[in-house]
């Protein structure tokens, strides 16, 4: 018997510079994503950080927005 694998189309890839797959913030994002049960994502190590591949454009946009908000939060001085 021949086993067939379903291949999903990858819509886009984001690389989060300076982060790893074990980064607590990335782990939280993955947990939230799994809880929402959105499109499948794949996580791997990129050249400058963690690389995430998405099968849905909406998921990619959400992760990109999260990343931008997180970087703004780290850069803004707290009073």
For residue range 7-43, list pLDDT tens digits in order: 778 888 999 888 888 888 888 888 888 888 666 788 8
Domain contains 3: no
Q: Note the helical H segments in 8-76.
A: 24-36, 57-75
Give the number of domains in the chain. 1
Q: In this structure, what are the phi and psi dihedrals at residue 15, rounded to the nearest 5 degrees?
A: -120, 125
Domain contains 19: yes
On whether the pTM is more than 0.85, the answer is no
Question: What pLDDT does 51 receive?
Answer: 93
């Amino acid at each position: 018997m021949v086993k067939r694998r379903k291949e999903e189309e990858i819509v886009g890839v984001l690389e989060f510079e300076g982060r790893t797959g074990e980064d607590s913030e990335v782990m939280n994002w993955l947990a939230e994503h799994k809880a929402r049960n959105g499109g499948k994502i794949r996580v791997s190590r990129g050249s400058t950080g963690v690389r995430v591949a998405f099968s849905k454009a909406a998921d990619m946009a959400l992760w990109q927005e999260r990343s931008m908000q997180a970087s703004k939060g780290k850069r803004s001085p707290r009073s």
